[in-house]
């Protein structure tokens, strides 16, 4: 009987107070859209930064006097360094082919000999593609006997580290602000919807109903409002970003791609917003007397 009453009252708000229910669902939907666009912007911007970091690689140039055994030894020592994912050996002949592919010229026709040194291409692990870690690895590689020089895109890594840190703090601040604003806005909107039922709450308190019994229908109502707002917001995000993908080039569309599981997160956050907003709002009317 109690469960039946809770379910009945939880759904009744959609019939009795359509305007306030619409306002609550609309507010949740708008809040979720703001949070979603911000989150997608952050994730895609982070994806751009990571894609730039992926292009960073080191190249250690080897002395021409090294034998094959010595080259193998140096390669093994580099592979053992912390942060090194893999190492590829590039011989002088392979370096000449790469030169021809990139510049369209045969090095032997220009100089009649091959001045390009053999090298080791060094690829770093995730978490080590920062200026600090890269500089440490470069220092260790340069100290190895037989290594003449090590080059990598130092300025790019330093720029990414500096910009990424600034971007992280800015996005963190904006994210907290949007989240708090959304909770307050949703709570105030749901409070107006609950205010319309203040006399029902007063009557239930007078007949001795427990706080939990009074609260449950409103929590269910808030949950349903959040669910509906979340479904609408997820639908808008789905339509909008699928439309954008059709108009962008393949290289750009990967930066506006939304993972399928993200839509369920939007709906879930909507339910939490509605439920939390109801908890905040109904507490006032249960704990305090409300004048008519």
pLDDT tens by residue, 51-65:
777 777 888 999 888
Confidence of residue 248 (pLDDT cuts 50, 70, 90): low
Residue 10 scores a pLDDT above 60: no
pLDDT at 201 over 90: no
- Among 45-59, 66-80, 141-155, the minimum mean pLDDT is found in 45-59
Q: Assess whether pLDDT exceeds 60 at residue 290.
A: no
State mean pLDDT over 60-78: 89
Task: Give which of 275, 271, 268 is closest to 216, Cα–Cα.
Answer: 275
Nearest to 148 by CA among 178, 120, 167, 176: 120
Cβ-Cβ contacts under 8 Å for 167 (sequence gap 6 or more): 45, 49
Q: Distance between CA atoms of 124 and 42, rounded to whole angstroms?
A: 24
Sequential DSSP letters for 197-254: THHHHHHHHHTT--HHHHHHHHHHHHHHHHHHHHHHHHHHHHHHHHHHHHHS-HHHHT
- Where helices occur in the chain by DSSP H, the ranges are 2-16, 18-54, 68-79, 92-103, 107-111, 131-142, 154-195, 198-206, 211-247, 250-253, 261-287
- Among 18-22, 38-42, 122-126, 176-180, which range has the highest average pLDDT? 122-126
Architecture, CATH, for domain 57-152: 2-Layer Sandwich (3.30)
Structure tokens at 285: 């009317």
Q: Which of 204, 178, 181 is nearest to 282 (CA)?
A: 204
Q: How far apart are CA 236 and CA 223, in angstroms?
A: 20
Asked whether the predicted pLDDT for residue 6 surpasses 60, the reply is no
For 196-222, what is the mean pLDDT? 74
Say which range, 33-42, 64-73, 95-104, has the weakest mean pLDDT: 95-104
CA distance 158 to 36: 30
Check pLDDT > 50 for residue 289: no
- Note the pLDDT of residue 57: 80
Cα–Cα distance for residue pair 134/142, rounded to 1 Å: 12
| pLDDT band at residue 291 using 50, 70 and 90 as cut-offs | very low
How far is residue 31's CA from residue 222's CA, in Å, rounded to a whole number? 15
- What does the domain layout of the chain look like in residue ranges? 2-52+160-287, 57-152
**Band of residue 77 on the pLDDT scale cut at 50, 70, 90:** very high
- What's the whole-model pTM score? 0.63
What is d(CA 231, CA 126) in angstroms, rounded to the nearest whole number?
Answer: 36
% of the chain surpassing 70 pLDDT: 80
pLDDT at 187 over 80: no
Instruction: Give the separation between CA 37 and CA 175, rounded to whole angstroms.
Output: 11
- Whole-number percent of the chain with pLDDT over 90: 10
Q: Residue 1 pLDDT > 60, yes or no?
A: no
């Amino acid at each position: 009987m109690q469960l039946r009453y809770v379910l009945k009252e939880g759904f009744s708000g959609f019939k009795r107070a359509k305007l306030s229910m619409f306002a609550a669902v609309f507010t949740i939907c708008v809040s979720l859209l703001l949070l979603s666009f911000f989150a997608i912007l952050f994730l895609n911007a982070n994806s751009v930064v990571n894609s730039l970091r992926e292009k960073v690689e080191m190249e250690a140039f080897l002395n021409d006097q090294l034998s094959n055994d010595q080259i193998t030894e140096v390669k093994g020592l580099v592979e053992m360094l912390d942060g090194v994912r893999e190492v590829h050996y590039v011989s002088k002949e392979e370096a000449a082919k790469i030169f021809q592919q990139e510049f369209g010229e045969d090095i032997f026709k220009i100089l009649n000999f091959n001045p390009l040194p053999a090298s080791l291409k060094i690829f770093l692990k995730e978490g080590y593609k920062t200026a600090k870690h890269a500089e440490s690895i470069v220092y260790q590689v340069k100290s190895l006997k037989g290594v003449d020089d090590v080059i990598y895109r130092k300025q790019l890594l330093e720029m990414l580290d500096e910009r990424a840190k600034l971007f992280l703090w800015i996005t963190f601040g904006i994210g907290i602000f949007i989240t708090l604003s959304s909770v307050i806005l949703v709570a105030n909107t749901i409070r107006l919807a609950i205010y319309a039922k203040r006399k029902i709450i007063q009557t239930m308190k007078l007949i001795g109903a427990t706080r939990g019994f009074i609260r449950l229908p409103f929590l269910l109502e808030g949950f349903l409002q959040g669910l509906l707002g979340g479904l609408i917001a997820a639908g808008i995000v789905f339509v909008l970003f699928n439309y954008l993908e059709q108009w962008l080039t393949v290289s750009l569309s990967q930066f506006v791609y939304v993972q399928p599981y993200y839509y369920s997160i939007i709906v879930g956050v909507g339910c939490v917003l509605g439920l939390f907003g109801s908890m905040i709002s109904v507490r006032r009317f249960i704990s305090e007397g409300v004048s008519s």
